[in-house]
Structure 1
């Protein structure tokens, strides 16, 4: 029996980029602060290293992360990996930064990442659960 699809959720490229820029900025500040505290005479290298690391990671996994699609059907929420979460088992849905976190009655947690409007994603799942 095929369930009718209610909604699909996939990562948003703009949100993905914004989140990685924020991570690079935070990483740069932390790296420079640590190098300064350690007395390194070239603390600016922390900025270069953090931005390079987050930039390389961001480019490397972008297509994988943005391409993940979650499907909400009449009876289930299906992950990109094919994990089927019965809607009746969804205990709570909350937002964390650009993600909607789905929590099941057994305590399993799933992240629907890089949503342009994570609140709307969470609301859609909550409404379907009721």
Structure 2
């Protein structure tokens, strides 16, 4: 993350939540497995159990492989902007929409840039904090 500007202060920081990360992947594995099994049944496959097993294994490998990168993600709300992983940042004055999105938070800027804050422990609380900071922002 870039250093703070003059007169800028940190209001809140949100690291990725490990429990939320693993729960999200478990849900995707169950849904993917059910869909895979249904598709295999629909096409008359004699071994439809392969779909759910493959989906669970695939999501498990994906979760394990991406965990270190995804869990290193951190978002920071300051008195002037929202900063995220990978150099993402948006000025509070440029934010047009902040909304919870399946437990995560979607932030949309005036330029149409969309940022998805993933694996947060309290998505609704984060959205409320960003809205509050935006309401008190004076450029």
Which TM-score tier does this pair reach, normalised by the shorter chain?
over 0.9
Q: Aligned residue for 2:58?
A: 53
Give runs of ≥4 in structure 1 deviating > 3 Å. none
Q: TM-score, normalised by structure 1?
A: 0.96
Shift of 1:83: 2.4
| Mapped pair 1:128 → 2:133 | yes
1:65-120, Cα deviation, whole Å (9 max, x unpaired): 11101111111111211222111000110011121110111211101101111000
| Mapped pair 1:22 → 2:27 | yes
When the two chains are superposed, the root-mean-square deviation of aligned CA atoms in Å is 0.9
| Mapped pair 1:4 → 2:9 | yes
**SS at 1:81's partner residue?**
helix
Determine the C-alpha separation between the residues in 1 that align with 2:36 and 2:16: 29
| Mapped pair 1:107 → 2:112 | yes
Name stretches of at least 5 consecutive residues in structure 2 with no aligned partner. Answer: none
Choose the corresponding residue for 1:93, options 78, 82, 98: 98
> In the alignment, is the contact (CA less than 8 A) between 1:9 and 1:112 conserved in 2?
no
Shift of 1:129: 0.2
Determine the C-alpha separation between the residues in 2 that align with 1:62 and 1:93: 26
Determine the C-alpha separation between the residues in 1 that align with 2:103 and 2:61: 20
Q: How does 1:68-87 map to 2 (within 5 A)?
A: 68-87=73-92
Q: TM-score, normalised by structure 2?
A: 0.90
Q: Aligned residue for 1:64?
A: 69
1:18-40, Cα deviation, whole Å (9 max, x unpaired): 11111100000000001111111
Aligned length: 130
